[in-house]
Amino acid sequence: MTSVCSVIFDLDGTLVDSAAAIQLALNHALSLHGLPVLPLDLVRGFIGRGVPHLMDCVGRQIGMDPSSAQFISVSNAFSARYARQQHGNLLFDGVIEALQDLQESNVALGLCTNKPMDAARTVLQHTGIDAFFSVVVAGDSLPTRKPDPEMLWAARDRMGPAPCLYVGDSEVDAEAAHAAGIPFLLYTRGYRKIAAEELAPWRIFDDFGALGGLVGCFVKEMPQA
Ligand SMILES: O=C(O)COP(=O)(O)O
Ligand SMILES: [Mg+2]
């Protein structure tokens, strides 16, 4: 059966509050190398553009040359731990119910995250939402990451011809959606740094209980393919 629409989700800061898990993996790698650990609020601000950007921020923060052997060793230790980091990943309230509701309403669900695929799969399985997504495009799936639009186009094109909506939490998501020409729905409890209206979203929401209704509005507003 053809879907009524496709909804693509961002992961970190949108479906999953993952900052604590990322901080745990990072601090594990830093401690292993005798380096100072970093606080949660700081690490949260590094999330959204994938691992290379996160590690650039860490290098700047601790004053280490990113091309030094020690820093490369820290990055490798982080990535190994991150790929299997379960603890510290918490679904935002109402996510499971909202995904179930959309699935029952014949909405195709996809995921587009700057997280590497192995870390994304660990989180999806740990939080029990893996099976909802027919398509997962991750930070190492393509040569580019969000905010480049390619990841969103790749996800959308694999989900069929129905109108497509993208749900994300950050500046990076807004920029990617606008560049891709895909309507952007902003979840406001995530990790963005600027005011919601500056991201020019189609709509905003702060409660997953409202998502089904918003997707219903989207289907009514959009011309069907
Ligand atoms: O890995 C990141 O930095 C962010 O991942 P996201 O695209 O799921 O928000
Ligand atoms: Mg995000």
> 141-176, pLDDT tens digit by residue?
999 999 999 999 999 999 999 999 999 999 999 999
User: Hey, which residues are catalytic here?
Assistant: 10
Compute the average pLDDT of residues 54-77. 97
pLDDT score, position 77: 98
Is 60 exceeded by the pLDDT of residue 54?
yes
> What is the atom index within ligand 1 of the atom nearest the CA of 46?
3
Which residues have a beta carbon within 5 Å of ligand 2, which is an ion? 10, 12-13, 169-170
Confidence of residue 224 (pLDDT cuts 50, 70, 90): low
Angle, helices 69-82 vs 19-32, to 10°: value is 140
What distance in Å separates the CA atoms of residue 101 and residue 131, rounded to the nearest whole number?
14
Which residues, including other chains, have CB under 8 Å from residue 114's CB and lie 6 or more apart? 12, 48, 49, 50, 138, 139, 145, 146, 151, 172
- Positive or negative: CA dihedral 100, 164, 22, 198: negative
The encoded tokens of residue 55 equal 């590690």
With the most atoms of ligand 1 within 8 angstroms of its CB, the residue from 56, 115, 140, 167 to mutate is 115
To the question of domain 19-82 being in CATH 3.30.70.270, the answer is no
- CA of 225 from ligand 2 middle (Å) equals 28
Question: So where are the chain's domains?
Answer: 5-18+89-221, 19-82
> What is the atom index within ligand 1 of the atom nearest the CA of 139?
1
Compute the average pLDDT of residues 176-193. 98
CB distance 49 to ligand 1 below 6 Å = yes
Is 90 exceeded by the pLDDT of residue 212?
yes
> 22-45, pLDDT tens digit by residue?
999 999 999 999 999 999 999 999
pLDDT score, position 201: 98
Percent of the chain at pLDDT above 70? 99
Which DSSP symbol is given to 212?
Answer: H
* Secondary structure class of 175 (helix, strand, coil): helix
To the question of domain 5-18+89-221 being in CATH 3.90.1720.10, the answer is no
pLDDT score, position 2: 84
